[in-house]
Structure 1
Amino acid sequence: MSRPIVEGVVLTHGAGGDRDQHTLAAIAEGLSPLPVERINFPYRNQGRRPPDRAPKLLAFLHEEVPAIAARLETDVGRLVLGGRSMGGRMCSMAVAEGMAAAGLVLLSYPLHPPKKPESLRTGHFPEIDVPCLFISGDRDPFGSPEEFAQHLPAIKGPVSTVWLEGERHDPKRADEQIVAAVAGWLASL
């Protein structure tokens, strides 16, 4: 019997949240018995805000994700990485830098800051070659469905999108829909 391609999920939080954010907790519960590790970036564990700069967050991921893989007795390449907003962005940047992963789950990806569509956070997209699932509200000020349609083709891996009708950057009523989308996407891998 062959091993499943995905043997765990690592989820990170957005800039103002932590590992206990409601959607991350719902995903962890909904994917059981698949191991889901929800991690805090160090600045949250130290009670600090704002977040550390990207290089420090990326260095943390490059250290923490292999440690999680070792605890789960698997390879980093059998983990799906991702998270909400900034956390998902950091995971996508780590993969673009060469971190192995079975795929990326990007919840409310911040394509650009609100009202600043010229400040795109897509420069690393051409270096991503793993399957990606983007889930966002169709009214998210960090990126509209039309903007995503313009920029997602830069990603080399297969890309799936789920748009949450009427939702903004922190979907309030969509956890069940998000969990179902993530579970279905993982099954397709």
Structure 2
Amino acid sequence: MAEIRDLPTEQGPGRGHIYSADVPARADIVLGHGAGGGIGAADLMLLASSLPGHGYRVILIEQPWKVAGRKIAGRPPTLDAAWLPMLAGLDLSDRVVVGGRSAGARVACRTAYDVGASGVLCLSFPLHPPGKPESSRAHELRAPGERGIPVRVIQGRADPFGTPAEVRAELANPEWVIEVAGAHSFGRRPIDVLDAALAVLPALIGADA
């Protein structure tokens, strides 16, 4: 069971769903949801229920627009403006990996330096709108690395928002992208996402962790 905490922002309350580790946590993993769905996405729920057993505390963040029951997310600046005070309102450890699915991954990339993140974990990073590769968001994906913050991306093989090959082309190291089955929602095997996350988290929190 998660501990649920209301987190005030200027846009109204957001919410943190905290899944604690049974032992002292190696790091905090803070994940945001997408622009269409919520924290109930299969991959987010599997990470939240499984990573604590591997020594990570997981915090799923609900944006204020979602808590208020609205169906459409706000513009990127409003998402960032809510994310920052919500994370500031949590008792985070010295090792914090931020991330999320789709739009949540974009927020995490844009704000990673401001929140002092150790690393960024992107699930289905939306590199561009479907069919519009010219409208690239690669600058957001590269932003953490330009500040010395490591990034790893778990991407569905048939993701219309950017294939793994497209995402690899935008990063300095192709090994930073882990390809799994499925499209933008990963399909029916969220366990592949968990396995990939477990493989890359040590690199995001430091080799000595």
- Aligned equivalents of 2:116 and 2:40: distance in 1? 25
Task: Answer whether contact 2:167 2:177 (CA < 8 A) is retained.
Answer: no
Counterpart of 1:163 in structure 2 is 179
Structure 2 unmatched ranges of 5 or more: 1-23
Task: Answer whether contact 1:136 1:162 (CA < 8 A) is retained.
Answer: yes
Instruction: Determine whether 1:140 maps to 2:156.
Output: no
Higher strand share: 2
Instruction: Determine whether 1:115 maps to 2:135.
Output: no
AA matched with 2:183: R
Counterpart of 2:107 in structure 1 is 90
Identity fraction in percent:
34
Shift of 1:29: 1.3
Q: What's the CA shift string for 1:30-81, capped at 9, x where partnerless?
A: 111421011111101011121011111101111111222x2x4x24xx1100
Task: Answer whether contact 2:168 2:177 (CA < 8 A) is retained.
Answer: no
Identify the match of residue 193 of structure 2 among 161, 174, 178.
178
Change (3 A) 1:125 1:18: closer
- The alignment partner of 1:24 has SS state of helix
Higher helix share: 1
Change (3 A) 1:9 1:57: same
- The alignment partner of 1:31 has SS state of helix
Task: Answer whether contact 2:124 2:184 (CA < 8 A) is retained.
Answer: yes
- Aligned equivalents of 1:159 and 1:55: distance in 2? 30
Instruction: Determine whether 1:41 maps to 2:63.
Output: yes
Counterpart of 1:64 in structure 2 is 86
Query: Highest relative contact order (Cα 8 Å, sep 6+), 1 or 2?
Result: 1
Change (3 A) 1:42 1:142: same
- The alignment partner of 2:72 has SS state of coil
Structure 1 unmatched ranges of 5 or more: none
- Aligned equivalents of 1:127 and 1:139: distance in 2? 25
Task: Answer whether contact 1:111 1:143 (CA < 8 A) is retained.
Answer: yes
TM-score, normalization by structure 1? 0.85
Change (3 A) 1:121 1:5: farther
- Aligned equivalents of 1:130 and 1:150: distance in 2? 18
Task: Answer whether contact 2:106 2:140 (CA < 8 A) is retained.
Answer: no
- The alignment partner of 1:151 has SS state of coil
- The alignment partner of 1:152 has SS state of coil
Task: Answer whether contact 2:31 2:99 (CA < 8 A) is retained.
Answer: yes
Task: Answer whether contact 1:152 1:159 (CA < 8 A) is retained.
Answer: no
Counterpart of 2:168 in structure 1 is 149
- The alignment partner of 1:52 has SS state of coil
Shift of 1:87: 0.6
- The alignment partner of 1:168 has SS state of coil
Change (3 A) 1:102 1:6: farther
Counterpart of 2:6 in structure 1 is none
Instruction: Determine whether 1:23 maps to 2:43.
Output: yes
AA matched with 1:152: L
* RMSD (Å), alpha carbons: 2.1
- Aligned equivalents of 1:136 and 1:43: distance in 2? 26
Number of residues paired by the alignment? 176
Task: Answer whether contact 2:25 2:57 (CA < 8 A) is retained.
Answer: no
